[in-house]
Structure 1
Amino acid sequence: MTYRSVTALDEPEFALPLPEGRYAVQARVITYDGERNARATDYFAEPEVVLGSDRTLELDARRARPLRPLVVDEDRALEDGSLSVDLVRTRADGLGIGTDDLATLGDRDTAFGVIPSATTAEHGAFHLAADHQLRDPYLTGSWTAGGRTTPLPLLSPVQAPRSDSSLRLPAVSVGAGADSDYAGRDVTGKLVVVSTTRAVVSPLVATAEAHGAAAVLVTRPTPGTTVIQGAASAEVPVVAAPHEAGRVLLAALADQPVTVALDNRRDSRFTYTVPMDFAGAIPESPVLTTRKDDYATLVNDFHAGGADRPTT
């Protein structure tokens, strides 16, 4: 088994000369949007490829399957917190290689998945191991216009200040959120909606705060990946909505007054940390179904104020 690292960006194919033998192939396939934000990240592994002549391996992200656990008897809302993925291939003599990755999920709408393997580890072992955190949502949102309330899916910066609070704020669109966009707009005590493709929003938040805004909601003006970062020093709540949800909200704002509701939590009241392990190959259906009774319950009496956090 021989291991070599190859990085291919924006190349439809590449050739790698290798001697005859058995090989393990692992890769991470990233699909980008127009701003080079990751729209999807998919993990690929062929645990045992036997080479005796020319051979083509196809890394087709369209075949990717969501890597997601289910807690089938949990009726409370859950959101993605984080995901760690390890692809580990070990030879019969114990020598191994691996690929590992860790991603936060609550601050972006990037999709994560795995591409099923066509081969299986016949000599030695292969494991796809993942820890997927599901949690009580940090915040929930909705907006109301004309007597009708619409749910508002939200993303939250990882390092954003958090508090236990419920806000009901009139919304104002401020375009791209530059200082000049606030001319003639009274945003004091209101939630401003900023349309931008920028992921790091700290300059936009600082401008909104300088004009008296009570909260900032960021959304993309065009389809693509929504990522929100850089709000660690914010003094007001900062959230993001995916493009389609933001488009609908902005369309309503153009016609009538809109009130946005933000219900925040200092920390999740409960968390599921779900270990997933698939041996031999990446399966066609990488889904793990669990029930609440499958978890031990640990009570955290610090930081979260006694929040129940079911874990394994």
Structure 2
Amino acid sequence: MSDEQPTELEPGGPNAVGKMLGLLGDEWTLLLIQQALLGVTRYGQFKAAMPISNAVLTARLNLLTREGLLERNVYQSNPLRAEYLTTPRSRSLWPFMLAIWDWERKWVPGHDLPRMVHTVCEREFAPVLSCASCGKPAAAREIAAEWGPSGNWARSVPEASTRRRWDSEQVSGAAGLFPDTMTILGNRWASALIGAAFRGITRFTDFEKALSAPPTLVADRLRAFVAIDVLAATQNDKRPDWAEYHLTEKGRAFFPVVATALQWSQRWFRSPEGPALLETHTTCGAEFDPQFRCDQCSTVVHRRDVRIV
């Protein structure tokens, strides 16, 4: 499979969103991509950089190689030595990683995350999600989204068998460096639920119906989101017995992570029926193509212009 070309998905199967969540909704995968983007290439270097077992590291490197996010290059044959190099597919994930860094830095206490400097203006900066068409900042409420030809909730969640294995590995000792992000993305129902919340769903029964999820799982995910202050539970004015779940300021601030993940997914995974999601920036009326601008100088942020301090 060429890493320059998108992966063609099976008709009627998981769409680009489901495929993306199956890959990125795992902390070890995110950490490996982070290290690879920082220049780590060899097995021993990955092992030294994070508290990961040999079995999990081998499985993730094989997965990332199979999915075109890393390229395995044998540089010595006797004894066999290989390195894992980034590809266009993994390098294009840097906006997503930048969004996670910025959100965790601002909203999750107790982090010792590195500072980042925009070398164009030589200032420490925060990325501002903007529309590539008009250049203006783009908040979640300014994005109109509707399902595309391959889009529905059932096709937008990862395959259960894969996620059950990954969840069990995380329980037995994940690194814990992206704790709240993994609460949102690291569970197949949680990731779908946050998408439903951004689509305007607020009631328990509506979450249950939209996701076709067991009520116990919906209740569990809603409790988890309330616990990390991504959702707030309120009473309905007309029906006090109905609880409603609304995105908090912290929850709405997660939108750049969602936006960049969706952008990446629909660039690299294609269903024969067409896109999973269609998004419009209502401010300018153009198809929404997210990009980051520097909050200090307002210019577009490119990967080459970010320096870690």
Q: Shorter chain as normaliser: what TM range?
A: under 0.3
The structure carrying a bigger helix percent of its residues is 2
The TM-score with structure 2 as length reference comes to 0.23
Largest Rg, 1 or 2: 1
The structure carrying a bigger strand percent of its residues is 1
